[in-house]
Structure 1
Amino acid sequence: MVSDAIRVSEVKCMSNAGEVSHGMAQIRANPRLHYVSAGEGDRVIVLLHGFPQTWWEWHRVIPSLVKAGYRVIAPDYRGAGHSSRMPAGYDKRTLADDVRMLLQDELEIRQKVVMVGHDIGLMVAYAYAEQFRDSVSHLVVMDAPLPGTKVFDDIRLDPRVWHFAFHGARDIAEMLVVGRERQYLQAFFNARIYDPSALSQDDLDLYKSAYSAPGAMRAGFELYRAFDQDVQDNREALERNGKLGVPVLAVYGAISNTGARIEAMMLEVAEDVTPLRIPASAHWIAEENPAAFVEGLLQFLNQPQD
């Protein structure tokens, strides 16, 4: 069910996102996926957000991509924003299949798409590109470790990513955060940011409204609780199908935890990887330095293909 509080926050902020259309797609028998779309034409970019965000993560990116001639689709993956908060199905292959059904069944997109994912969205974007290889022209991954890689194993032990273990503590994490969602999200964003002004109070209010809805924080934590399954799925897929052949852009913030290791990480699972360092940014790239991100993304997409 759509939260009135989230909708009010989105309307309040909407002038920054340009002209977008909202939709709700029925996926399988139960999940409903909310998405926004903007622009038109055959060149399609799909933007997958991270935690604790929603499609709104991309509101400063969407107008520039539309201006460049792209049709943009930005869903709330299951459990986030206006999408259904299901009791299960938070492994990234299932989330990727949700997105496939949205694109192919609801939106009837048949051409190859550019798949972009940040944070948890990175994991979903990779799962999509790995499972549906003929449906992706380019993969763009942004500042997060990918389960099943050596880099993921190393970063998982870094005390700066303490939240991996905390979010994995079923019921305990919910008990400690409920009623304190805004404080928790504020601390979560501030710990991984270069420019604190990049996230306004309106932005924070929107995310707080989204994740204080019934079941929303639990759904967010379940994304982390599925990591062990994601590790197994990705390792088995790499063994079975080999590395990705599509061009991959590996994006990282100048002072992020993952940093330049994202290039080595993606070379574990892909043949053709281009790194992109975003200055004046930490983890929240699309909000901290959207101009530099869009410039680098378009340069990558405009490179001639063999």
Structure 2
Amino acid sequence: MTTSSITPSPVVITHGRAWTDQDAGVRLGYTVATATDNPDKTVLLLHGAPQTRHAWRHVLAPLAEAGYRVIAPDYRGAGDSSKPRDGYDKWTMAGDIHHLVHTVLGLEGPVSVVGHDLGSMLALGYALRYREDTVSVTFMEAPLPGTDYYEERKVAKSAWHFDFHSNPDIAVYLTHGKERWYVQRFYDDLTYQPNAITSTDLDVYARAFEAPGAMRALCEIYRELDHDAELHRAAIASNGKLTVPVLASGGGAQALAKNYLRMCQDIAENVRGELVPDCGHWVPEEQPEKFAAMFVAFDTNARR
């Protein structure tokens, strides 16, 4: 494990990379933020696509100041993490994250899990696989594999990228050398607050997906989604729906947002719906203060 720290008082932000134990050669990049020496609660932030843990940059300090140990990893295939040829089902990816949290970082007890976009799909796999290690789950801006809404959404014309990414050879070939333009298309199409993602932020994301293997890894994550749906349905059939409190959220300006509550009721028993006003798809970047306040209020109630 390697780490480096910067300290903008009172929040300490540490960056590192660590090997997982379940798959030789897989290393995860991560960020940890704290405002006290030993926070008594932890939140795990799982980013979406085409993004990296940079997506959480604006909410690290507010959540740390609210008393959380904040852990924001790059999941396998993204950012500073390894980009192997396989292992992109969310069950396996959840194993990477669980090892990072509880073995590498040595945390005991359950954590609150927040997912955005593809990170929500990973958050579902994590919560179903590690029920005893999960306090609450916040799902944002994604159709969750294993739900009826996922089956509806994946065949919609506006969800063209699901099929496109599921054919890695085609997608990688057609986007090669055009990664920056391709990444920017998603921000141009799905952002409600136009200044939320700057050219500097776009540089970060573009570099990440120009890296060798990054676009193929992204495609492999999508190619596994139908498999994920099978895994999630099987887990619910065997062990029931999630019983921890669940927040179904998204950007209030998104036309799809009205579907999230009923979707989460397919996979969880205790669901609260709340949308973030004046916000498009990129919730933690477009409305970081509103997101942080919403999450803290929800999670505080979940821990009672």
Q: d(CA) in 2 for partners of 1:57 and 1:287?
A: 6
> Is the contact between residue 245 and residue 302 of structure 2 (CA under 8 Å) also seen in structure 1?
no
Q: d(CA) in 2 for partners of 1:102 and 1:246?
A: 22
Q: 1:295 to 1:121 in 2, by over 3 A?
A: same
Aligned mate of 1:25, from 12, 18, 35: 18
Per-residue CA deviation, residues 206-226 of structure 1 (Å, 9 max, x unaligned), is 000111000111101111000
Aligned mate of 1:151, from 144, 149, 152: 149
Q: d(CA) in 2 for partners of 1:255 and 1:157?
A: 22
Q: d(CA) in 1 for partners of 2:80 and 2:87?
A: 17
The answer to whether 1:97 aligns with 2:95 is yes
1:228 Cα deviation (Å)?
1.5
Identity rate, percent: 41
> Is the contact between residue 135 and residue 302 of structure 2 (CA under 8 Å) also seen in structure 1?
no
Aligned mate of 1:180, from 165, 178, 181: 178
Q: 1:304 to 1:202 in 2, by over 3 A?
A: closer
**Where does residue 34 of structure 1 map in the other structure?**
29
The answer to whether 1:166 aligns with 2:159 is no
Q: d(CA) in 2 for partners of 1:173 and 1:95?
A: 22
**Where does residue 267 of structure 1 map in the other structure?**
265
Where does structure 1 differ by over 6 angstroms across 4 or more consecutive aligned residues?
none
Q: d(CA) in 2 for partners of 1:172 and 1:257?
A: 30
Per-residue CA deviation, residues 159-198 of structure 1 (Å, 9 max, x unaligned), is 1111101111221100110100110011111111111211
Matched residue pairs, number?
Answer: 294
Q: d(CA) in 1 for partners of 2:256 and 2:108?
A: 34
Per-residue CA deviation, residues 54-101 of structure 1 (Å, 9 max, x unaligned), is 111000011100111111000000010000001000011111010011
Per-residue CA deviation, residues 103-154 of structure 1 (Å, 9 max, x unaligned), is 1110111111001111111011111111111101111111100011100011
**Where does residue 107 of structure 1 map in the other structure?**
105
Which runs of no fewer than 5 residues in structure 1 stay unpaired?
3-10
State the TM-score, normalized to the length of structure 2: 0.93
Q: d(CA) in 1 for partners of 2:183 and 2:55?
A: 14
User: Residue 38 of structure 1 aligns to which amino acid in structure 2?
Assistant: A
Q: d(CA) in 2 for partners of 1:138 and 1:278?
A: 18
**Where does residue 8 of structure 1 map in the other structure?**
none
> Is the contact between residue 45 and residue 71 of structure 1 (CA under 8 Å) also seen in structure 2?
yes
Q: d(CA) in 2 for partners of 1:207 and 1:225?
A: 21
Partner SS for 2:256: coil
> Is the contact between residue 144 and residue 258 of structure 1 (CA under 8 Å) also seen in structure 2?
no
Partner SS for 1:162: helix
Partner SS for 1:183: helix
Aligned mate of 1:131, from 129, 132, 136: 129
Q: d(CA) in 2 for partners of 1:85 and 1:229?
A: 19
1:255 Cα deviation (Å)?
2.4
1:262 Cα deviation (Å)?
0.9
1:305 Cα deviation (Å)?
5.2
Two-structure CA RMSD over aligned residues (Å): 1.8
Per-residue CA deviation, residues 239-290 of structure 1 (Å, 9 max, x unaligned), is 1111010000111111225312111111001000011111111110000111
Which runs of no fewer than 5 residues in structure 2 stay unpaired?
none
Partner SS for 1:302: helix
Q: d(CA) in 1 for partners of 2:177 and 2:16?
A: 30
Partner SS for 2:182: helix
User: Residue 201 of structure 1 aligns to which amino acid in structure 2?
Assistant: S
**Where does residue 231 of structure 2 map in the other structure?**
233
State the TM-score, normalized to the length of structure 1: 0.92
Aligned mate of 2:67, from 62, 66, 69: 69
Partner SS for 1:186: helix
Q: d(CA) in 2 for partners of 1:30 and 1:71?
A: 27
Q: d(CA) in 2 for partners of 1:57 and 1:264?
A: 26
1:304 Cα deviation (Å)?
6.2
